[in-house]
Amino acid sequence: MSVQVEQAAAFAGRGGFLSEAAARRVEAALLPLGALLAGLAAFAVFLAALGKSPVEFYLLVYKAGFGTGFSWTNTLARAAPLLFAALCVALPARLGLVIIGGEGAIVLGGVAAGVVAMLAPGLPAPLGIGIMAIAAMVVGGLWIGGVGALRQLRGVNETISSLLMAYIAIALMNHLIEGPFRDPASLNKPSTASLPEAWRIGEIPGMGVHWGLAVGIFACLVSWVLIERTTLGFAARIVGGNVRAAQIQGLPTAVLAIGFTALGGAFAGLAGMFEVAAVHGSANASLAAGYGYTGILIAFLARHNGLAIIPAAVLLAGFEASSGLVQRRMDLPDATVLVLEGMVFIAILLSDSVQGRLRFLATFERRRA
């Protein structure tokens, strides 16, 4: 048991204000928040060293990402695929697996959706959309589930294999949309045939954002319930805490690992389907937009908690929505926002080194006593 939790539990036993469980929850909320603020502060120093105003930068980020109704529409539209991409990282992480190749499942899920639309354009719209979603989830689930299988059956490091498979998936996507499934009418930008208009997924009434956002939020809620409120999720958390102990208890560790990686991949594939059916109208190279990599940061910022993924995805989407305005107003490269995200990610990783070592709860209780 960590020092901080031991102290909190001891004070709770003498009538202290926090139980052990509450101390864990407080720490889980404060660490990522502190890491986010530290990353923002470090980036402010970086901007100052370049002779740019950090205040102006953050004001522009706020204006472009959250300052107007149009800004919110743009931000929420970008957040939709990020929700699914973050789940592809967060679900396997609860079993101790670090999957960073969700980008591969996204692009292949999009290709699967585009191919379904090409092969069966005459289907009724609800059936066609449903088949597209199923095909995308199956392909994404098999792709990332294969990473889990390699880990469990052959001992292949899942972080390296998932990253390498993401590059393979992008190459496979380019081959398919430029070769066997290319629409002859797509001259300048190779793609599959455009979806039938009836198959296009529309917007949530009054929001100007496609239905992928609502489905993504629902997926986060379902994932949270699965992990935190079911026996299957409890078993997964035991595997993530101590694989050897889980094996001694007779838990099917390999089945759980492969199943949860496949589920994460299925969500990522669904992101690709929504990009095709609601944004691009066909499968093309724009599917490789980097959502899978941003999802890694979101999952870590949210501590792999399905509920926390929702605000984290909106925040990071707002950052990315501001890149164009920052580039124009401050004469900074478009990749400046990626530097900001990188610094936040480093701060999050460093925050793990102080997990369980916060002493403010015990100090506060001593003063209170």
36 and 63 assigned to the same domain: no
Helix residue ranges, H only, the chain: 3-13, 20-49, 54-66, 69-93, 102-119, 125-154, 158-178, 212-229, 231-241, 243-248, 253-274, 291-301, 306-321, 323-330, 336-351, 360-368
In a domain, 337, yes or no: no
The span from the CA of 304 to the CA of 94, in Å, is 7
In a domain, 336, yes or no: no
Amino acid 82: pLDDT? 97
In a domain, 347, yes or no: no
In a domain, 339, yes or no: no
Query: The domain containing residue 115 runs over which residues?
Result: 53-331
367 and 325 assigned to the same domain: no
In a domain, 345, yes or no: no
Q: Which residues contact 360 (CB under 8 A, 6 or more apart)?
A: none
Tell me the residue length of the chain. 369
The span from the CA of 89 to the CA of 95, in Å, is 11
Measure CA 223 to chain center: 12
3-state secondary structure of 201: coil
Amino acid 18: pLDDT? 53
1 and 103 assigned to the same domain: no
The span from the CA of 8 to the CA of 149, in Å, is 40
Give the helix/strand (H/E) hosting 187: none
The span from the CA of 79 to the CA of 98, in Å, is 22
19 and 111 assigned to the same domain: no
The span from the CA of 91 to the CA of 261, in Å, is 7
Q: List the chain residues with pLDDT less than 50.
A: 1-16, 362-369
283 and 150 assigned to the same domain: yes
In a domain, 338, yes or no: no
Q: Is the dihedral of CA 276, 279, 281, 287 positive or negative?
A: negative
The span from the CA of 134 to the CA of 177, in Å, is 20
Query: CA distances (Å), 113 to each of 49, 96, 110, 216, in order?
Result: 46, 31, 5, 17
107 and 201 assigned to the same domain: yes
The span from the CA of 95 to the CA of 235, in Å, is 9
The span from the CA of 304 to the CA of 314, in Å, is 15
257 and 295 assigned to the same domain: yes
The span from the CA of 137 to the CA of 27, in Å, is 35
Contact in structure between 269 and 263 (CB atoms under 8 Å): no
163 and 238 assigned to the same domain: yes
186 and 272 assigned to the same domain: yes
In a domain, 132, yes or no: yes
Contact in structure between 326 and 61 (CB atoms under 8 Å): yes
Phi, psi of 121, rounded to the nearest 5 degrees: -70, -15
Amino acid 359: pLDDT? 52
Phi, psi of 210, rounded to the nearest 5 degrees: -70, 165
| Placement of tokens 């999952």 in the chain | 299
Please tell me the total count of domains within the chain: 2
For 318, the token pair is 């707002």
326 and 364 assigned to the same domain: no
The span from the CA of 294 to the CA of 128, in Å, is 30
The span from the CA of 198 to the CA of 205, in Å, is 17
59 and 195 assigned to the same domain: yes
This prediction's pTM: 0.89
67 and 41 assigned to the same domain: no
For 180, the token pair is 């066997």
The span from the CA of 65 to the CA of 76, in Å, is 9
In a domain, 298, yes or no: yes
The span from the CA of 45 to the CA of 42, in Å, is 5
The CATH number for 215's domain is 1.10.3470
Give the helix/strand (H/E) hosting 210: none
